[in-house]
Amino acid sequence: MLRKTLNEIKRIIKPLPVSDSAEEEPEGVFSRILKANKGLENILPLQDGDILVRTGRSASNCSNCKWPKSTDGKVIVPYNLSAPYNDNQRKLFQNAMDEFESLTCVRFVPQTVETTFINIGSGNGCHSTIGRSGGKQAVGLDIYGCMYKGIIQHELNHVLGFVHEHMRSDRDSYVTIMYQYISPGDTPNFNKANTNNLGIEYDYSSVMHYERDAFSNTSGQATIVPKPNPNVSIGQRDGLSVLDVSKINQFYQCDVCSHLLNENSGTLTSANYPSTYPTNYNCVWLFRLPSNQASLTFVAFDVQSSPDCASDYIKIYDGPTKRHPLLIDRTCGSGVVPPIISSGTQLLVEFSSDGSITGTGFKALYTTVNCGGTFYTPGRNITSPRYPNNYYSNLRCNFTIKAPVGQRITLTFSDFKLEDSYICSYDHVIVWDGSKQYGEFCGERSIPVITSTTNTLVINFKTDIDTETKGFFATYTFI
């Protein structure tokens, strides 16, 4: 009764958060670039909003501006971060580059002795030349205005040799350019290029596409109108699209099997499912969800069984590359695969088969969840959503840690800061060891190391309507 009364009082004296429906339409990649580059045309030789002028090259038709392939089939692009980017910004660069690594044969690697490399710096907006120019090649990604994954991937796509999507040689079959709403000085931004379109369809959702009202001189009037349906969404802010990935792999003739899954929900199957999958097959599926965390549930699983799953197997990583922590290590056979929840918006599934026996493979359903997860690996970190940034309001998260039968779990909170309140009635953490309860914990405090008496621990994390802080960082191990 007391707890209910306290929450009722809190609702009265503290304002409710603004509804999502009242928020403005999120800015797309190119709108943010134009905002960051405002006025730079008087300082830098920019065209099309963010392209450093270079003569004699025309984007995807520039075979002589490709980055070379190494003997193992990788396209190596050395880079140097020459500005004082902080740790979070460097992680953002890494995350943006990681998607290229998992989905294509392109590898952005730190520059060491290479004399041709991209030099990424801050101070002059967001910009790049098209393709490989040789020597120390400038890429502008300003600390103030360009620190978004979509913008980073946009400029890196320019580096790889791609122009803006609406500049394709065949664009007039897909969009109408409304020149009546474009000032004469801005019309060159809508010139077509002599592009090699690689046999890939026009991509309204490309990270390289202008937004609908780019360079409009009349409020509310579009400069780019899709055909035949003018209501088709164009431009976005999240990063590489499915067809962006296809273009890179086609342009550089990458011998990879990869799939980008970027919708809120869908289905994932192995090749040929429900028929037998191929031998000598390796493929990855990268989940990059618009928000929240990825939840993956297998509804069918039949993969050749072998000792230690040495022949055919799946692995699932908690992030966009194979360098990220494993959620599930090599798994095979026909048993039940436990439900998986990522700690962030990205999840990588790897499937590999050898040259002998195959099965029917697998089918899985994916969707988004606010938070939580089920963890089976011997040790890893668990954090509140968005840590070390403030967590969200109105969360109900369950983190379940399961060790093998006969083992126990130690859980250590190394950082803990939640909203403080009387008897932790607002935001709190409870740890359950079977029916034994540790907590409720709230505020900024130290929590003693918790050792389970069974092979399972559950962390309940609850938040109320407001007053969010950075949350918690915990580590577990099996003993």
- The angle at the Cα of 189, spanning 183 to 193, to the nearest 5 degrees, equals 145
> At how many degrees (to 10) do helices 149-160 and 29-36 cross?
90
How far apart CA 168 and CA 174 sit, in angstroms, is 10
What does the CA dihedral 80, 86, 91, 96 come to, rounded to 10 degrees? -60
Beta carbons of 290 and 364 less than 8 angstroms apart: no
How far apart CA 188 and CA 56 sit, in angstroms, is 17
What are the tokens at 344?
A: 């962030």
How far apart CA 62 and CA 131 sit, in angstroms, is 8
Which residue in the list 155, 165, 419, 468 is annotated as catalytic?
Answer: 155
Upper half-sphere CA count for residue 234 (Cβ side, 13 Å): 27
Handedness of CA 448, 453, 458, 463 (dihedral sign): negative
How far apart CA 313 and CA 478 sit, in angstroms, is 24
> At how many degrees (to 10) do helices 149-160 and 87-103 cross?
50
Beta carbons of 225 and 178 less than 8 angstroms apart: yes
**H or E stretch including 76?**
strand 75-81
Q: Is 155 a catalytic residue?
A: yes
Please give the positions annotated as active site.
155
